Amino acid sequence: EAQVTQNPRYLITVTGKKLTVTCSQNMNHEYMSWYRQDPGLGLRQIYYSMNVEVTDKGDVPEGYKVSRKEKRNFPLILESPSPNQTSLYFCASSLGYPSGANVLTFGAGSRLTVL
Amino acid sequence: SQKIEQNSEALNIQEGKTATLTCNYTNYSPAYLQWYRQDPGRGPVFLLLIRENEKEKRKERLKVTFDTTLKQSLFHITASQPADSATYLCALPLWSGNTPLVFGKGTRLSVIA
Mean pLDDT by 10 residues, chain A (115 residues): 95 96 97 95 95 94 97 97 98 89 94 97
B31 and chain A in contact, CB less than 8 A? yes
B55: left (phi over 0), alpha (psi -120 to 50) or beta: alpha
Confirm or reject contact between B102 and chain A (CB < 8 A).
yes
Cβ neighbours for A80, distance < 8 A, ≥ 6 positions apart: A15, A16, A18, A63
pLDDT of res. A98: 83
Output A67 or B29, whichever has higher pLDDT: A67
Question: How far is the alpha carbon of B35 from chain A, nearest alpha carbon, in Å?
Answer: 10
Q: Does B32 touch chain A (CB under 8 A)?
A: yes
A33-55: b (≥16 Cβ within 10 Å) or e: bbbbbeeeebbbbbbbbbeeeeb
Q: Are B94 and B1 in contact (CB under 8 A)?
A: yes
Would you state the pLDDT for residue B98?
75
CB-CB neighbors (< 8 A) of A107 in chain B: 43
C-alpha distances out from residue A11 to A19, A85, A111, A115, B84, Å: 10, 12, 6, 11, 30
- Cα atoms in the Cβ-side hemisphere of radius 13 Å centred on B100: 22
Q: What is chain B's mean pLDDT, rounded? A: 92
